[in-house]
Amino acid sequence: MASGYHTPVLLQDCSDGMQVKPGGIYVDVTFGGGGHSRALLEIMSEGRLIAFDKDPDAKANTIDDERFTLISQDFRFMRNHLRMIGVEEVDGLLADLGVSSHQFDEAERGFSIRNEGPLDMRMDERSPKSAAQLIEEIDESELADIFFQYGDLRNARRIAREVVARREEEPVKTTKDLIECVGSLAQRGKENQFLARVFQSLRIAVNDELGALKTLLEQSVKILKPGGRLVVISYHSLEDRLVKNFIRAGNWNGHIEKDIYGHADLPFKQITRKPIIPSEEEIKKNERARSAKLRIAEKC
């Protein structure tokens, strides 16, 4: 199933950034199609690689290698699950955030504006609330906040108003329903960009993506050994800002806090001052790499 499931982004840069050591223990918290994990295993002469993915579909891509373990759980519970298998510290952690190509392409998952299907958007289909249920249950002001905060949509209140008006007549159950409901509010010539942001907003809310990322970064400080590497690919500014600020300052606002002697207790050393982005050649081969930003840090 891995073939075509997901094309790994910035593959060589991620592998190099991990600085794999003989006998080291590494974690890939977004296994997906297994592309990054396979690349790491190829350069590991020994050691151990533990992967996480809460999407049950990812199980079909598991790797038959005694050094590899796949844990089919949300990475926000990473530390507990690592302890359950006897791992307290690791030498590197890789996260390729966002939605996999497979998830985008499966119409019934409801992630893409290109495919008609149920308005689901759950990365873990075992989660209790879909995007359709979210739209049905929350009030107009909460919905507007989602569109504004997670999609940077300036007409967020009007979008929310249109969705609420539509749901009062009939439920917004499919991707087509949502597109028909808000499509007319897009700026002419930028319809796809507008709709992509609407979908992104709901997806982030449904999956609590930013909350999960914060939990992951906080846990990374506790499980990485000194000198261990943190390698993170993000796909939108909200994610990238959290990663950048946490690596830089150990908090979410990016402000370096110092003690009374002027010393800063920083958890990481920045390896990449500016994010690594895909080459034009990679983008031509994989359009979904266009917005990717890779940041690498080393545990102090």
Q: With a threshold of 0.75, does the pTM exceed it? A: yes
Judgement on whether residues 287 and 214 belong to the same structural domain of the protein: yes
Same domain, 217 and 201: no
Stated as kind and residue range, the H or E segment containing 28 is strand 25-28
Enclosing domain of residue 169: 112-207
State residue 104's pLDDT score.
Answer: 82
pLDDT value at position 11? Answer: 96
Q: Is residue 5 part of a domain?
A: no
Q: Clarify whether residues 244 and 274 are in a common domain.
A: yes
Long-range contacts of 251-256 (CB under 8 A, 24+ apart): 252/214
Decide if 138 contacts 167 (C-beta within 8 A). no
d(CA 74, CA 54): 5
Verify that 217 and 284 share a domain, yes or no. yes
Asked if the structure places residue 3 within a domain, the reply is no
Please count the structural domains in the chain. Answer: 2
Tell me how far apart the alpha carbons of residues 95 and 14 are, in angstroms, rounded to a whole number: 10
Q: Are residues 43 and 168 in the same domain?
A: no
Q: Is residue 184 part of a domain?
A: yes
Instruction: Specify the pLDDT at position 35.
Output: 94
Q: Does some domain include residue 6?
A: no
Q: Are residues 154 and 118 located together in one domain of the fold?
A: yes
Q: What region does 9 belong to: left with phi over 0, alpha with psi -120 to 50, or beta?
A: beta
Q: What are the pLDDT digits (tens) for 47-64? A: 999 999 999 989 999 999
Would residue 4 count as lying in a domain?
no
In the prediction, which pLDDT does 98 show?
80
Last residue of a domain, one of 207, 235, 252: 207
**What residue ranges of the chain have pLDDT lower than 70?**
1-6
What strands, in cross-sheet order, belong to the sheet with 90-96? 68-71, 48-52, 25-28, 90-96, 224-234, 293-299, 268-270
Q: Is residue 1 part of a domain?
A: no
End-of-domain residue from the set 144, 177, 207: 207
Claim to verify: residue 290 and residue 216 sit in the same structural domain:
yes
Q: Do residues 186 and 238 both lie within one domain?
A: no
User: So what's the pLDDT on residue 3?
Assistant: 47
Q: Looking at 191, 207, 223, which one is the last position of a domain?
A: 207
* CATH assignment of the domain containing 218: 3.40.50.150
The span from the CA of 296 to the CA of 243, in Å, is: 10
Measuring CA to CA, how many Å separate 226 from each of 49, 136, 229, 277, 297? 18, 47, 9, 26, 11
Do residues 58 and 180 share a domain? no
Q: How far is CA 68 from the centre of its chain?
A: 22
- Domain of 169, CATH number, reads 1.10.150.170
At 278, list the tokens: 């895909």
Within this chain, do residues 74 and 190 fall inside the same structural domain, yes or no? no
* Structural domain contains residue 107: no
Q: Are 25 and 91 in contact (CB under 8 A)?
A: yes
Check whether residue 84 and residue 138 sit in a common domain.
no
Residues 17 and 68 in one domain: yes
Task: Tell me whether residue 215 is exposed, middle or buried, using C-beta atoms within 10 angstroms of its C-beta: 0 to 12, 13 to 18, 19 or more.
Answer: middle
Res 4: pLDDT: 54
